[in-house]
Amino acid sequence: MPIIVNLDVMMAKRKISLNELSEKVDLTLSNLSILKTGKARAIRFSTLEAICNALDCQPGDILEYVTGTEKTTNR
């Protein structure tokens, strides 16, 4: 998959748990977990905005485009 979700990396940098983030962005743990593990097929801009607001980051800190066999540098 050419889009990598680095939500777990940003959560670790901000020292925030999945439960805490779930409450801040008003998403169920299940939906947030699907996003965190990279299994989500889509994300609403409003959800991305809420996550970026809660983590004080930019969308590019969470989503990464990887071409070909290139590996992500954050993992």
Q: Which residues contact 1 (CB under 8 A, 6 or more apart)?
A: 38
User: Would you state the pLDDT for residue 5?
Assistant: 95
pLDDT digits (tens, 9 = 90+) for 43-72: 999 999 999 999 999 999 999 999 876 555
Residues 26-48: what's their mean pLDDT?
Answer: 94
Beta strands in the chain (DSSP E): 3-5, 63-65
What is the phi/psi pair of residue 32, to 5°?
-70, -40
Give pTM, 2 decimals. 0.84
CATH code linked to domain 3-65: 1.10.260.40
Q: pLDDT at position 68, please?
A: 76
Q: Tell whether the model's pLDDT for residue 75 goes beyond 50.
A: no
Angle (deg, nearest 10), helices 7-14 and 45-55:
30
What is the rounded distance in angstroms from the CA atom of residue 12 to the CA atom of residue 15? 5
